[in-house]
Structure 1
Amino acid sequence: MQKAISKYWPVFVLPTLLAFIIGFIWPFIWGIYLSFQRFTTVSKTTFVGLQNYISVFSDETFLHAFSFTAAFTVVSTVLINVCAFAIALVLTRGIRGTNLFRTVYFMPNLIGGILLGYIWQILLNGVLANLQKPLLALDAKAGFVGLVILMCWQQIGYMMIIYVAGLQSVPGDLIEAAKIDGANDREILFKIKIPMVMPSVTICTFLTLTNSFKLFDQNVALTAGEPANASEMLALNIYNTFYGRSGAQWKGIGQAKAVVFFLVVVVISLIQLKFTRSKEVQQ
């Protein structure tokens, strides 16, 4: 078997590697190149150096979208992980109907983002109308809260499954030994369970953080950035810059925004991974 693998591995690796290069690596490199250009089509470009990047950081809509996205990411990441972990704790206590609850909580993650956004837009606007409050498209604060509710409803069930797997991997002997030594439920939770499920915390935090920063389709469907781009997130701001503004300079600026966006997500993700992995313990 080992000889066959060592002999024929290129046959299996090369098609996937070629598809990865064509579908990801080459467009990524080309995108970086275009971020230094002024263009209307990729075949007609004019080099402008760092002018596009200077324009990015002088664009007030981009700076507002960044602050809005950062605030949304912090709130949604904390809420999703706390709620998902709490539900996972309940569902690992051996109560009846656990499998049914896990399935029901996971189902929202199967719904597409655009469809989910329009469903919640109808629901939340109906509630706001009954309360005689401004609708989502008329109030940025309501739009922010609506996006958080939508994101939590969609992601909590998925993260719960990961936390359930982490909690089930905690050795029962360790918990029994702690109880024999007189540890109460609070001490077992904070000194045994949470440290032992830190790998799950790392995964869930990474997923919720990156998903929140990259949120696009739900933002389009729920608020479309209204009112006056006040609820516009980074991905939607980049899209509107590239496709929604006339002039050759805006496509280059939009591409530069995409590169900045990529770097921001990578840096924040690496910091998060380094921090949470430092808290992991060996079983």
Structure 2
Amino acid sequence: MRTEVDVDGAYMEKRKKSDVKAKRMSRIKKILTYAAFVGPALLFFLTIQIVPFIMGVSYSFTSWNGVSSAVEWVGLDNYIKIFTDDSKFFNSFVFTTKFMLAAVFISNIIGFGLALLLNIALKTKNILRTVFFIPNVIGGLLLGFIWQFIFIKGFASVGNLTGLSFFNQPWLGDEVTAFWGIVIVFAWQISGYMMVIYIAALQSVDKNLLDAAKIDGASSVRMLGSIIIPLILPAFTICFFLTISMAFKIFDLNISLTGGGPFNSTESVAINIYQEAFQNNRYGLGSAKSILFFIVVAIFTTVQVMTTKKKEVEA
């Protein structure tokens, strides 16, 4: 006969097995749920981003022309050629870096200024937000052709009517004015997007802090520098990251406005890589340039994020 201890032991063993099975089923259910939601996005990310990136890295060590089936392995020859015999690529890097610095500064100044303006109680603020954001939804190629007409025809007409030399300059025909022309159009396009991010950050600032500062006699400028900006530093981190990456990767706006001219003085790195790979049929060399470009952009954005994140902690 089975004793009471044996019965209790069998019951506890059965209960333990049941709990283990339930936990296993719960874990499997959770994994399947995650896979159902994350799986498709992960699959597309791997297919569209990771796999092409790995292929690009491998092609950068070849002399493939992008057309034939013959792929010759050349090792580091493409990278050596870039550093020793490709001044055009480095000139495009210099232009892109200068453009990035100017565009990031101007775009964020305008975006933050518009956010401050539209954060106050204006009756038309919702309409103005839409108006300022609309340029961001216009495609870069279309926007470039629109502003090309404005610079060539519109500014010339205004200059003839007013006699102002500012409008009569060869905006897209001179190296200096073409550079600033691209900066103006980029800032005009992207500032509305930055404005939306800054407005969201400004609306999260505790009004009680501002009211207390006013009672203590703080001016608007003092509140802006000592309270508002330190509290919305995460928004600056995001906006700087976005504008740096967008400015570095400028292509469609650049190619539709100037095409890299005059005399390749406004040729961005993206245009240089495009011409190398798809016009000169040197896909291997173009891939090597794109990998170097990726490394530089990654370094710039990483340093920027680390620096601004440190400021957030200090604030």
TM superposition score normalised by structure 2: 0.84
Task: Give 1:89 deviation, angstroms.
Answer: 0.8
Match of 1:39 among 43, 64, 70: 64
Partner residue, 1:180: 215
- Describe the shift of the 1:202–1:44 C-alpha distance in structure 2 as closer, same or farther (beyond 3 A): same
Q: 1:8 aligns with which of 33, 41, 57?
A: 33
* Corresponding residue for residue 120 of structure 2: 93
Q: C-alpha displacement at 1:132, in angstroms?
A: 4.4
Residues 75 and 253 from structure 1, CA distance in 2 versus in 1: closer, same or farther, beyond 3 angstroms? same
Which residue is 1:157 aligned to? 192
Task: For residue 170 of structure 2, give the secondary structure of its aligned residue in structure 1.
Answer: coil
Structure 2, unmatched stretches of 5+, are: 1-25, 160-166
What amino acid maps onto 2:131 in structure 1?
A: V
Q: For the residues of structure 2 that align with 1:33 and 1:7, how far apart are their CA atoms?
A: 34
Per-residue CA deviations over 1:88-146 (Å, capped at 9, x if unaligned) read 1111111221111111000110100000000000101122575543351x312121111
| RMSD of aligned residue pairs (Cα, Å) | 1.8
Match of 1:121 in 2: 148
State the structure with more CA Rg: 2
Is 1:19 the counterpart of 2:44 in the alignment?
yes
Picking from 283, 286, 289, the partner of 1:257 is 289
Q: 1:48 and 1:6 mapped to 2: Cα distance?
A: 44
| Preserved contact between residue 198 and residue 281 of structure 1 (Cα < 8 Å) | no
The CA distance in 2 between the partners of 1:164 and 1:144, in whole Å, is 30
Structure 1 CA distance for aligned equivalents of residues 69 and 59 of structure 2: 10
Residue 38 of structure 1: SS of its match in structure 2? coil
Structure 1: unaligned runs, 5 residues or longer: none
Q: Give the TM-score normalised by structure 1.
A: 0.93
Q: Deviations over 1:45-67 (max 9, x none)?
A: 11111110111223111111000
Kindly provide the amino acid, as one letter, of the partner of residue 135 in structure 2: P
Query: How high is the sequence identity, in percent, across the aligned residues?
Result: 41
Q: SS at the partner of 1:186?
A: helix
CA distance in 2, matches of 1:164, 1:42: 52
Alignment of 1:230-241 (within 5 A): 230-241=265-276
- Please tell me the residue identity of whatever aligns with 1:134: P
1:133 and 2:169 correspond: yes
Instruction: Say yes or no: does 1:104 pair with 2:131.
Output: yes
For 1:272, the equivalent position in structure 2 comes to 304
Q: CA contact under 8 A between 1:195 and 1:281: conserved in structure 2?
A: no
Task: Work out the number of aligned pairs and report it.
Answer: 278
| Structure 2 counterpart of 1:48 | 74
Task: Please give the alpha-carbon distance, in whole angstroms, between the structure 2 residues aligned to 1:8 and 1:274.
Answer: 34
Structure 1 residue identity aligned to 2:225: F
Cα contact 2:244–2:301 (8 A) shared by 1: yes
CA contact (8 A) 1:128 1:135 kept: no
2:241 equivalent in structure 1: 206
CA apart distance, 1:211: 0.3
1:245 pairs with 280, 299, 309, which one?
280
Q: Are the aligned partners of 1:196 and 1:281 in contact in 2 as well (CA < 8 Å)?
A: no
Offset at residue 281 of structure 1 (A): 4.8
Q: Which amino acid aligns with 1:93?
A: I
One-letter amino acid of the counterpart of residue 168, structure 1: Q
